[in-house]
Amino acid sequence: MTEPTIYKGLVGVYADVSAVSKVMPETNSLTYRGYAVQDLCEETDFEQVAYLLWHGELPTAAQLEAFRAEERANRALSPALLRVLRDFPKDAHPMDAIRTAVSFMGMEDPESADVSDAAQRRKAMRLFAKAPTAVAAANRLSKGLEPIEPDASLPYCENFFHLVFGKVPQPEVIKSFDVSMILYAEHTFNASTFTARTVTSTGADIHGAIAAGIAALKGPLHGGANEAVMHMLKEVGSPEAAVDWLEGKFDHRALVMGFGHRVYKSGDSRVPTMTKYAEKMAEVVGDRRWMETSRVLAKQMLERKNIHPNLDFPAGPAYYLMGFDIPMFTPIFVCSRITGWAAHVFEQAADNRLIRPLSHYTGVEQRAVPSLAARG
């Protein structure tokens, strides 16, 4: 028998067609439904992008108003879920907390078992609206603080800050956060999206698909990198220390978090926009240390290894400067990526075939089962 070709890590494999987004590594660009992400960041907001991903077109004013109203109406958590959140271990990672909260929301959802397109879309809206409430509540409870109730008079991003901090910051901070949410929303067949599509391909419901996506996103090679970046910047400490710190990493052939990408090999399309808004955050807060340190690391990585930063590299310090605790960074990514995951769940279900690849067996040849006595 001829040896099959193995594409380790599925590198270079086209697993299906998709009309949600397009990555163009040759021009370092990314479009959602045909619109360049950097243009969406300047011309729209996260709620409009969520609508775009789910419906294929940007909303009209009336459609947007209805979409926003539905999101605001679905933010509250049930008393049962709040009780469960209170019982989580205080040192649980917030990604484990939101993954478990999403599973719980699935059990509570009135349409839990209904996987029709209409029901999946209604459930996606409920998940989209409730995820920030759960992420913020878990974060506050872990610090011994009471959860804050969502404020239906506030737009999505303003409400997020209200839920976490009990107050809404100045518009520049909201804008930087909104941009990060747009940039994190969608990115073709990355590991967590492919996971969500695989779960959907079995006929399972959207809460299961998204809980699985969250599990995949937690890893440091995927979404967990934005937290790792901030830990790294704090370890480096200052721009002056960056070059020596990096040389030490090269000596040990260690991974430098926030650099490299499976698809982009000459720059991540999202980095210039996120860097611009991370810089704005540094100005607002009046602390340039992290961005200066980042700048030296990025320059040195490029010169020495020809490796470019990815979105997590500027997003990490941006979230830190906004005041979020580091373990909140990847759960924020979850709140954003729920939109992209859901768009892929709808697309997979609309033209489904069970995802089930083959493995090439390299174990021992077939053999007889020895009796227990013969095994000694």
Give the shortest CB-285-to-ligand COA separation in angstroms. Answer: 24
Residue at shortest CB range from ligand COA: 260
Please indicate whether residue 252 is annotated as part of the active site.
no
DSSP state for residue 335 in the 8-state scheme: H
Please indicate whether residue 312 is annotated as part of the active site.
yes
Binding string, residues 270-309; x marks residues near ligand COA by CB under 6 A: -------------------------------------x--
CB 160 within 8 A of CB 137: no
Stretch that binds ligand COA, among 32-40, 233-241, 260-268, 364-372 (CB under 6 A): 260-268
Distance CA 323, CA 318 (A): 9
Counting contacts by CB under 6 A, is residue 225 touching ligand COA?
Answer: yes
Candidates 255, 272, 304, 352; binder of ligand COA (CB under 6 A) is: 255
Nearer to ligand COA, 150 or 260 (CB): 260
Binding string, residues 309-338; x marks residues near ligand COA by CB under 6 A: -x-x--------------------------
Distance CA 347, CA 18 (A): 7
Distance CA 268, CA 309 (A): 7
Nearer to ligand COA, 38 or 201 (CB): 38
Nearer to ligand COA, 263 or 284 (CB): 263
Nearer to ligand COA, 134 or 232 (CB): 232
Residues 6+ apart with CB under 8 A from 301: 246, 256, 259, 307, 308, 309
CB 81 within 8 A of CB 147: no
Catalytic position from the list 162, 222, 308, 344 = 222
Give the shortest CB-223-to-ligand COA separation in angstroms. Answer: 8
| Total residues at interface with ligand COA (CB under 6 A) | 14
Neighbouring CB atoms inside 10 A of 362's CB total 6
SS3 annotation, 6-19: CCHHHCCCCCCCCC
Catalytic position from the list 109, 308, 312, 344 = 312
Helices (H), the chain: 37-43, 46-55, 61-73, 79-87, 94-108, 117-142, 156-165, 171-184, 191-201, 206-217, 225-236, 239-251, 271-285, 289-305, 312-322, 329-350
Question: H or E element: which one contains 23?
Answer: strand 21-24
Catalytic position from the list 261, 268, 308, 344 = 261
Please indicate whether residue 151 is annotated as part of the active site.
no
Candidates 33, 99, 122, 261; binder of ligand COA (CB under 6 A) is: 261
Tokens 């019982």 locate to 87
What tokens were used for 203? Answer: 């006929």
Nearer to ligand COA, 106 or 316 (CB): 316
Candidates 51, 104, 161, 259; binder of ligand COA (CB under 6 A) is: 259
Give contact residues for ligand COA (rule: CB under 6 A): 9, 221, 225, 255-262, 307, 310, 312
Q: Give the residue numbers annotated as catalytic, written as ranges.
A: 222, 261, 312
